[in-house]
């Protein structure tokens, strides 16, 4: 089944929330629509208009099976957010594709580093981040469902 990445719009909000919240529930993590996940209320304003990006991975019938976002923290730093895959899309190298896409987008947008917060129960994601050179760092504030933070200087990406 062919897949493509495209920018998300506010029209995708319901499908994006359904995917993100379902994956969180799968790992016993709590969605936070009024806090950590409030950025999904207005994807276009939170990401595209703010100098970041939010893209979705879709099937040939435009079903959203993956998400990946870059939230602008500063002129040089982006936060990798909302990188999730539907269970049916896992094990096909699509997580790697999403991450490589995000790294390329971050570079194209002029960021020099990426940070992220995650939950250690997301073993596959943590392993992927570490394989790409993300290293743990101490974040001043972690989202309630996150217990780890990582950073990567884009100059280190091969």
Full-model pTM: 0.94
Task: List, for residues 29-75, the tens digit of each pLDDT value.
Answer: 999 999 999 999 999 999 999 999 999 999 999 999 999 999 999 99
* Cα–Cα distance for residue pair 103/125, rounded to 1 Å: 15
CATH number of 3-156: 3.40.630.30
Task: List, for residues 63-122, the tens digit of each pLDDT value.
Answer: 999 999 999 999 999 999 999 999 999 999 999 999 999 999 999 999 999 999 999 999
Q: Is 100 left (phi over 0), alpha (psi -120 to 50) or beta?
A: alpha
Q: Where are the beta strands (DSSP E) in the chain?
A: 3-7, 53-59, 64-72, 77-85, 113-118, 135-136, 148-153
**The two structure tokens encoding residue 136:** 């743990």
Q: Please check whether residue 142 is in contact with residue 108, taking contact to mean a CB–CB distance below 8 angstroms.
A: no
């Amino acid at each position: 089944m062919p897949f493509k990445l495209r920018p998300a719009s506010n029209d995708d909000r319901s499908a994006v929330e359904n995917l993100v919240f379902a994956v969180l529930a799968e790992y016993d993590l709590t969605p936070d629509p009024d806090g950590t996940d409030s950025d999904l209320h207005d994807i276009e304003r939170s990401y595209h208009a703010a100098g970041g990006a939010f893209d979705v991975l879709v099937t040939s019938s435009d079903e959203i099976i993956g998400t990946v976002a870059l939230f602008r923290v500063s002129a040089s730093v982006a936060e990798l957010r909302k990188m999730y895959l539907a269970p049916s899309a896992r094990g096909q190298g699509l997580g790697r594709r999403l991450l490589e896409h995000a790294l390329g987008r971050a570079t194209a947008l002029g960021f020099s580093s990426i940070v992220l917060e995650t939950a250690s129960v997301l073993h596959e994601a943590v392993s992927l981040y570490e394989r790409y050179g993300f290293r743990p760092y101490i974040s001043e504030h972690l989202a309630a469902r996150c217990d780890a933070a990582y950073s990567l200087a884009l100059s280190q990406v091969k």
